[in-house]
Chains A and B, each alone.
Chain A
Amino acid sequence: MAAQIFKDSEADRNYRPVWYLGRGLVYTVLIVWAIVCLFPIFWTITTAFKAAPDVMQGNIVPWVDFEPKWLGWRSLGLSPETIGAVSTVREEFLKRFWNSTIISISASLLAVALGSCAAYGLSRFNYRFGFMRNSDISFFFLSQLILPPVVLALPFLVLYKSLALLDTRIGLILLYTLTVLPIVIWIMRDQFSSIPTELEEAALVDGLSIWGAFVTIVLPIALPGMVAAFILSLVLTWNEYFFAVLLTSSTAKTLPVMVASQTGSQGIAWWAMAALSFAAIIPLVIIGILLERYIIKGMAAGAVK
């Protein structure tokens, strides 16, 4: 080893402590905010495994402060002892879970299908619907975002009642599609305008029809954007509560409505509520961890032009 040739000057060495201080501060802030973000989730998971005394004493760390118990899961019929037995609560829970799954997935798929086509058309062709040109049509779609749900809620309540769509899955699916459609169009328009038109021109010269070019050439390229739009829609529709609580009563009730209806009644069984909330958030937490890249991509669309 040769001797060190380049040495830090006096000024550089004075700079070091400041640098370390800055780093320390940055990581402190990051860690504090990470705790702020993660602690409620951690709290919910651990509370689901507590018994009454543990809740009262405010124990936090499992196995150190308290011994995890299956109490909350037993009341849902999901603990190891009760999983084989018949349980009405579990039936109810699974039914709501299934409703939420069906509704959010179908609404997101429908929105992505309708929205992608519309966004593609708007990014490629000139339209004239009456006085509306492309930018007006785009604005018409995007302006739906401003519409607060409460404006539509009561008219839909009456309309759905006369159409016998109240408390049906299809009714909620249609409404949810409507609420996420502007977001899908926003993301997909951004996505399509970044794809060069030469690709389609080449495909058209080779004899594909315009829809053929769209399905076989453009869609595969735009797939990441579609996944992003789909996941964002999924998050919004899975968590939707306002329409669900107004428009469903028994058959089509979704998971958020079930969670909300448990809070007030029958005192508060903390462990059971925690287990239920945990079951309600876990699908999206998993999606968030695994597909974080797509979610960020989706939300970043439109932010940067």
Chain B
Amino acid sequence: MSGEEGGKLHVVTADHISRTRRRWGSGIVWVSAALLVAVMLLQTLDGIGYLSLGFETWRPSLYAYLLWSTCLCASQVMIRGEHGKRTLFVLPAALFVISMVVFPLLFGFVIAFSDWNLSSPDGRQFNGLDNLRQMWGDSFYWNALGNMVWYSAAIMVEYAIAFGLALLLNGQIRARKFFRVAFLLPLMLSPVAVSWMVGKSMLEIRFGPIARFLRWIAAEPSVDLPAPLYYIGMLSHEVGQWLGWASPSFFGSAAVARAMIMMMDAWTFIPFMMIMILAGLQAIPRELFEAAEVDGASRWRRFWEITFPLMLPVSVTAILIRIIFKLKLADIIINVTSGGPGGATDSVTSFIFREYRDRSNVGYGTLLAIFYLVIIVIAMTILMKLAERWMKPRY
């Protein structure tokens, strides 16, 4: 993303590459490419039914593709010598990503405009814009998209908590290492395990510890208690009653269920933001604070006038990355609520997952996913442009 990179290591090399070596280099690429085309052609013909060569799978094409990629890499060195060796640093990764992303995406565009039920024997049927029309009328999909906005909005709260924790960890405290490890641990846990540990077990209504705790707060205090404790008890009783904690339900109503999913997701990902912010805080030179302290700025002003503005670039990076991760949110929803009640907690990913599970229609699901991708790309581009403008220092 930064403009100035590369071109640091200038090496002048005098390669003498013979004609034959060069010819061999381009030769292997073309021969392997021809082989790849031939194999794919044969397989296509076989697939359509013109020929019957008895191919079970498309593996031969895959092997031909791998051979061609290897030849392409080798030919770089054969043709261009030292420069080819430099290309070899990036080429394998680039080939890998292109073959794993670009081809499936193109393929996805084809699937998206077809009716393809994997369990039916008819195979793929092109159905034009039918999927698009169906999507337009699919209120559950739009609802899931709306939920994603809610989920993304929750990031601001996560950010505030993460910032607070990072400030505490950056302060002068004892047992810093213990707290850092403890705060980091939720990030290590798999969302599936979290959805069982927290979503199913701890949030169990009858005997889960959280429900028990809430009921304890909402319970009427015993009369034997000394007066101050009794009044605190009465207060918590009233508040608890008002919040409906006497008989808590976590996945009954739409808003509460969504908040629960947000909390579980926040629990696993707050450490991530916290660590990024902590790294940013540690990079701020001490002298700035000392100067401000000498000038008599209060703690509060020091935070808003020095820490926060200096942390802006890091904060924006952390929030953008967090948004990217949030948009992939699915595991917890699939395992805890499977979208319920009534689609209130659905994320786009979990919705498409269920759509596929229930009807095994690949075509419609892919169209929904690609539409989602388009929205994400547009939204992220706008956000990044805004962030760029916003992050410019204003002095």
Contacts and interface: CB of A to CB of B under 8 A. Distances in A.
Do they bind each other?
Answer: yes
B6 interface: yes
Contact of B56 (A127, A147, A164, A274): A164
A38 interface: yes
A152 B97 CA distance: 12
A137 to B, nearest CB: 7
A108 to B, nearest CB: 15
A141 interface: yes
Interface string B1-26: 11101111101000000000000000
B192 A241 contact: yes
A118 B111 contact: no
A77 interface: no
A263 B200 contact: yes
A146 B193 CA distance: 25
B100 interface: yes
B314 to A, nearest CB: 5
A285 B189 CA distance: 7
Interface residues of A, number: 110
A152 B103 CA distance: 10
Interface string A253-289: 0001101100100001010011001001100110111
B9 to A, nearest CB: 4
A287 B179 CA distance: 16
A178 interface: yes
Contacts, number: 320
A17 interface: no
Interface string A174-217: 11011001000100010001000100110010000111001000
A142 B107 CA distance: 22
- Contact residues on B (Cβ < 8 Å of other chain), bracket: 35 or more
Contact of B108 (A29, A154, A259): A154
B94 A129 contact: yes
Nearest to A297: B279
A135 B1 contact: yes
Given A27-B173, A114-B96, A139-B1, A127 B276 contact: no
Contacts of B348: 148, 150
21 contacts: A29-B168, A33-B165, A34-B182, A34-B183, A37-B185, A37-B271, A40-B267, A118-B93, A123-B5, A125-B6, A150-B353, A152-B104, A158-B118, A177-B96, A178-B100, A242-B331, A246-B353, A259-B192, A288-B181, A300-B276, A303-B318
